[in-house]
Chain A
């Protein structure tokens, strides 16, 4: 097994470098408290969008209910942290959230994933609304529309970074595994995949559960970033925000999703001073991007270390020959 070939090592090195550079910028106060909130939001969006891209971009199943699973993670983690306001509480809450979200996704996926296209979209939208309304009506446990408050703020760059890495490792490894290829085959042509003996329901369900799993991680980070959460934070608009990132980055492109989450997060921050005009500019930008680049930034493609190394060595070889 050559798990650690030079491409993977390249990615690993790149992520370690990014981690330390950002950490140093935070230490040096270049990234102050205000920017750190943007940073946390971008990190959560990356995790959410990666999970949704697995469902929409790689499996071809249209889900409009991603925020529902995020809210499960957020509430589980918040409830645990209110009982145990330290890192152990956070980790236990994360674990609980991931388990509950995956179970709910499993129960929901088996019947609804028989639906196709827009019907599936509306069913998943309905499920996330049902989750939201259930949370609203759970009495003291979730404290209704007012939401929970008083959680310790534990989230920082290190925690967010590990969240991203965990989701990335799970999702990228899944895509590159044999079940992952079966999943992509379902996206390309469900009937053809089925006739090749692929159990389409099984792989669609796996992808859906992994998506919910990562959404729950993001939800836990959300609960520990802000000291209060309420059901309205996880409504239809949140699902739409994630969907926009996925489509903007390109369906079926992991690196595209990351780039899109970062650029949309920065765009949002830069537009903050414009006040009322902010959403108008954002909306026009959204329409313009879709009209001129309907496939998203990277379309199906990925930024890859393989190509980068290939390009570098191509550039180097002629030089060596010339020097000879």
Chain B
């Protein structure tokens, strides 16, 4: 039982990182129906900015987190301006290829500047371990939980209570109608990218803290997993992304713990396909009837 609870705790901390990433995917998808494959790379950039802030400028975790989030938000908006905006009326697959191009670009520019090697993320959080009964929780995990919960609440607040959030929801339902109501669609989309990228940047720093190592290609695999998580929960839905991220994280840790870590990805994908077959629009998604 203790072992099981321990796995749940580990799974939830990995899952909250996936959830932060999945939120960005799902918001961008919800508003412009684009699978933003460059999202995983923004998370990688966030990890590197956090690394520079802590290692070279000697800052603490929280200021580093803010710098990384700001930098990523600006980067996200910039990418949207330069690469995605000209393609807004093109086919979705062309936009998808552009997103893949952006992701290559970010990866290899990072390799050019920082080198391809793995770097050790500086230790900012003391490796203290707390025991609750038989379950061990280390301080890094607590930081991850607390920061991700705060960020998710903040996001929920922005989307549900502010004017900008209202505009975001309006554009995602019908962008033409939103434009007619006087909403500046371009600004709203930029804001969505800023928000999603900031969350990815935070996830990057947190993953650096958790695993202690970063490299320029670290974004690809978690990016894909986070997308799976977003689809799992129902893409375009913010609670869906959180649920999806947490369940993918827990599943992955459970499979590694009780079976073999070699097959964890296969199990995740198999569950995903099963969920899609039973409920084609994801766990929380509503099945829309197609109209002719």
On whether the two chains bind one another, the answer is yes
A side interface size, CB within 8 A: 44
Contact indicator per residue, chain A 288-316, by CB within 8 Å of chain B (1) or not (0):
00110011100000000000000000000
Map CB proximity to A onto B73-108 as digits: 1 under 8 Å, 0 otherwise: 000000000010011001101110110111011011
Q: Is B231 an interface residue (CB 8 A)?
A: yes
Is there contact, CB below 8 Å, between A280 and B112?
Answer: yes
B interface, over-half SS = helix
Interface string of B102-120 (1 = CB under 8 A from A): 1011011101100000000
Whether the pair B263, A277 counts as a contact (CB closer than 8 A) is no
Residues of A within 8 A of B272 (CB): 122-123, 126
> Contacts A276-B111, A279-B107, A295-B91; is A126 near B97 (CB within 8 Å)?
no
Q: Which of A94-134 contact B (CB under 8 A)?
A: 111-112, 114-116, 118-119, 121-123, 125-127, 129-130, 133-134
Q: Among B97, B111, B263, which residue has its beta carbon within 8 angstroms of that of A137?
A: B263
Chain A interface mostly helix, strand, loop or mixed? helix
- The chain A residue sitting closest to B93, CB to CB, is A247
Minimum distance in angstroms from B35 CB to a CB of chain A: 6
Contact partner of A136 among B108, B109, B235, B262, CB < 8 A? B262
**Complex Cα spacing A283 to B101, Å:** 5
Q: Which of B257-292 contact A (CB under 8 A)?
A: 262-263, 265-266, 269-270, 272-273, 276-277, 280-281, 290, 292
**Between-chain CB contacts (< 8 Å), 30 pairs:** A111-B277, A119-B280, A122-B228, A123-B272, A123-B273, A123-B276, A126-B269, A126-B272, A129-B265, A129-B266, A130-B266, A133-B263, A136-B262, A191-B290, A244-B97, A277-B112, A279-B107, A283-B101, A283-B104, A284-B101, A284-B105, A286-B101, A286-B104, A287-B105, A290-B87, A290-B97, A291-B86, A291-B87, A294-B95, A295-B90
Chain A interface (Cβ < 8 Å from any Cβ of B): 56, 62, 111-112, 114-116, 118-119, 121-123, 125-127, 129-130, 133-134, 136-137, 191-192, 236, 240, 243-244, 247-248, 251, 276-277, 279-280, 282-284, 286-287, 290-291, 294-296
